[in-house]
Amino acid sequence: MTFISYAQNYEDVMLWRALKDVKNGFYIDVGAAWPQGHSVTHSFYLEGWRGINIEPNSKFFDQLQSQRSRDINLPFAISDKCGSFTMHLIEETGLSTLDKDIAIKHGATGIKSLEKQVDTHTLAFIWEKYVPPDQEIHFLKIDVEGLEKAVLAGNDWANCRPWIILVEAAMPMSQVESHDEWEELLISADYQFAYADGLNRFYVAQEHSELLAAFKYPPNVFDAFIPIAQQQADSRANNAEVKAAESEARTAKIETKFQQLTNELNSVYHSKSWRITKPIRILANQVLAVKNENIVIRIKKYSKQVTQLVAARAIKYIERRGGFRKYCIDLSKTLGLYNFLRLIYHRNLEQTRLQRLTKIKQNLSATEKSEHLSTHARSIHIDLNKAVKKHQKESC
């Protein structure tokens, strides 16, 4: 399984290499700061460990309280004596300190701090009051921005013995080593120097000297770890790939549906019923496109003539195509469409003939009054009148 490192300088990788076989281990983190970012203990917490987080910065303490429910979280500072001291808080950083001189140096570089009174206790007090009886402390981490000597001096090394100790060993925001001031306290307490990573120094208790071998090499490929920043980047990339794949799947589904609908539409376009009803659709589209009220009134006025025209064109279209005519006749058995169109068509022919004969009669009536008709013309006029009257009588 890949180990995810949350620590600033892979301190958790080195500790995990030495302690990965320990189940449900216990830690003490002095100067814990964030519950996740730059945390030496967060990976262990995710593995089921628990411990004590000591953090006097109230904002970090509140975060620890909400995110580290299994841990004991204490809003204290640690020193070589119990009491109340002034802490120089530098918000949103891990640079807060009890050392006034260090705070002044930060101020000279533009880093401002706020003064706050905090309670201080010793490591021996924390151990006695908060560590469960017979509980082994598998590692102690100390990051107190210049107060390392006071923290180490406040422990009972005869009775309170973590397996591994790592201490920040450089002056704040520099590479200047500071371990000469306090290392002798650990050496005299039977701890062996094991490893330095440029920021911290690791020490192993003499009674657990078998762990020294784990600190022979710096973090490397065989530790099978990735930094949390890389894991988050990979996760974002994977999420983007998943979303892209989902988008492609949705696009393919839409394209398939579109092709299916296109095929169905083409099937309708090529059907005989679609061709039969083409004149009716044309008329319907023209009616729907009309928005002017006056045009609508005129269409209503002439709708009968338009229907007759459409029927006439449809029946002519059908009559000119023998095979298609048979199909329409068969269709008329169930729909009556063909016979209906023929009825309209023939009615239209009769009305047209009647209109023409009426016009001829009107012309003849006008001609009859003329004094210039010849005998032959008058004879033709009489014959035409008889034909008109006969046709009118038959139509009735």
How far is CA 154 from its chain centroid?
52
Most confidently modeled range among 92-106, 141-155, 171-185: 141-155
Q: What percent of the chain has pLDDT over 90?
A: 42
Which residue would you say has higher pLDDT here, 288 or 206? 206
Mean pLDDT on 320-326:
59
Mean pLDDT on 120-136:
95
Report which of 39, 19, 7, 10 is spatially closest to residue 164, judged by C-alpha positions.
19
Q: What is the 3-state secondary structure (H, E, C) of the chain?
A: CCEEECCCCCHHHHHHHHHCCCCCCEEEEECCCCCCCCCCCHHHHHCCCEEEEECCCHHHHHHHHHHCCCCEEECCEECCCCEEEEEEECCCCCCCECCHHHHHHHHHCCCCCEEEEEEEECHHHHHHHHCCCCCCCCEEEECCCCCHHHHHHCCCCCCCCCCEEEEECECCCCCCECHHHCHHHHHCCCEEEEEECCCEEEEEEHHHHHHHHHHCCCCCHHHCEEEHHHHHHHHHHHHHHHHHHHHHHHHHHHHHHHHHHHHHHHHHHCCHHHHHCHHHHHHHHHHHHCCCHHHHHHHHHCHHHHHHHHHHHHHHHHHCCHHHHHHHHHHHHHHCHHHHHHHHHHHHHHHHHHHHHHHHHHHHHHHHCCCCCCHHHHHHHHHHHHHHHHHHHHHC
Mean pLDDT on 77-95:
73
276-318 confidence digits (pLDDT tens) = 777 776 766 665 665 455 555 555 555 556 566 666 666 666 6
Round to whole Å and give the CA distance between 305 and 125.
109
Please give the pLDDT value at position 370: 46
Which residue would you say has higher pLDDT here, 186 or 243? 186
Please give the pLDDT value at position 280: 74
Task: Examine the pLDDT at 386 and tell me if it is beyond 70.
Answer: yes
Q: How many CA atoms lie within 13 A of 41 on its CB side?
A: 36
Please give the pLDDT value at position 376: 66
Report which of 205, 97, 92, 94 is spatially closest to residue 157, judged by C-alpha positions.
205
Round to whole Å and give the CA distance between 20 and 138.
11
Please give the pLDDT value at position 317: 64
Task: Examine the pLDDT at 221 and tell me if it is beyond 90.
Answer: yes
Q: How many CA atoms lie within 13 A of 199 on its CB side?
A: 13
The neighbour count for residue 205, using CB atoms within 10 Å, is: 19
Which residues are CB-contacts of 348 (< 8 A; sequence separation ≥ 6)? 308, 311, 312
Please give the pLDDT value at position 86: 72
Architecture of domain 3-219: 3-Layer(aba) Sandwich (3.40)
In the chain, where are the structural domains located?
3-219, 224-270, 276-395
- Mean of the per-residue pLDDT values of the chain: 80
Task: Examine the pLDDT at 13 and tell me if it is beyond 80.
Answer: yes
Dihedral of alpha carbons 346, 348, 349, 351, sign: positive
Report which of 197, 123, 125 is spatially closest to residue 162, judged by C-alpha positions.
123
Round to whole Å and give the CA distance between 310 and 344.
10
Which residue would you say has higher pLDDT here, 255 or 54? 54
| Residues 17/223, Cβ–Cβ less than 8 Å | yes
> What's the whole-model pTM score?
0.61
Task: Examine the pLDDT at 382 and tell me if it is beyond 80.
Answer: no
Which residues are CB-contacts of 313 (< 8 A; sequence separation ≥ 6)? 279
